[in-house]
Amino acid sequence: MRTYIVAFVVALIALPAMADEQTIKLKQAPGVDKVEANCQACHSLAYIPMNSPFLNAGGWDAEVNKMIKAMGAPIDDADAKAIKDYLTKNYGG
């Protein structure tokens, strides 16, 4: 046990000042490029797997619409459709 604790403390000291950047690997499928290009300008892609797999097509539609209408995300109609389709197919419930 002590070895473990010592190892952990050493690991803690070795950590850089900032937490490592969160890396989210989204499922590679059609539309993933539109998601990456539009969504992560403002927020972590973590919100996608976080809200899965329970959101259905209507749920993901509402989320993307909220980002455009309430949050002012500059996403054109074609990209919005591709993003909704991608989320529903890959992270839908």
Partner 1 sequence: MITRRHLLGTAGAGAALAVSGLGLPNVFEANAAGEVPLTPGIPEGVRSYATMATLPGKKPLIRLSDRGPNYESPLEYFRTPITPNDEFFVRYHLSDIPEKIDANTYKISVGGDGANGQAEITFDDLKKMPAVEVVAVNQCSGNRRGLSKPHVAGVEWGYGAMGCAHWKGARLKDILEKVGVKTEAIEIGLNGADGPAIDKTPDFIKSIPVWKAMDADTIVAYEMNGAPLPHFNGFPARLIVPGWTGTYWMKHLTNINVLTKPQGGFWMKPAYRIPVGKFPVVARFITQEDATSTPITEMVVNSLITSHRDGDKIKRGKVAVSGLAWDGGYGIRVVEVSTDGGKTWSDARLGQDLGKYAFRPWSFELNAKRGKNTVMVNATNKIGQSQTAELIFNPAGYHNNVMQNITLNAA
Q: Which of 13, 14, 28, 71 binds partner 1 (CB under 8 A)?
A: 71
Amino acid letter, 44: S
Q: Tell the smallest beta-carbon distance from residue 69 to partner 1 (Å).
A: 10
Helix/strand/coil for 41: coil
Alpha carbons within 13 A on the beta-carbon side of 39? 24
Q: Which of 29, 30, 36, 43 binds partner 1 (CB under 8 A)?
A: 43
Q: Two tokens at 58?
A: 């209507």
Q: Tell the smallest beta-carbon distance from residue 92 to partner 1 (Å).
A: 11
- Phi-psi domain of 72 (left: phi exceeds 0; alpha: psi -120 through 50; beta: other): left
Residues that bind partner 1 in the complex, under the rule CB under 8 A: 1, 4-5, 7-9, 12, 15, 17-22, 24, 40-44, 46-55, 59, 62-63, 70-74, 91
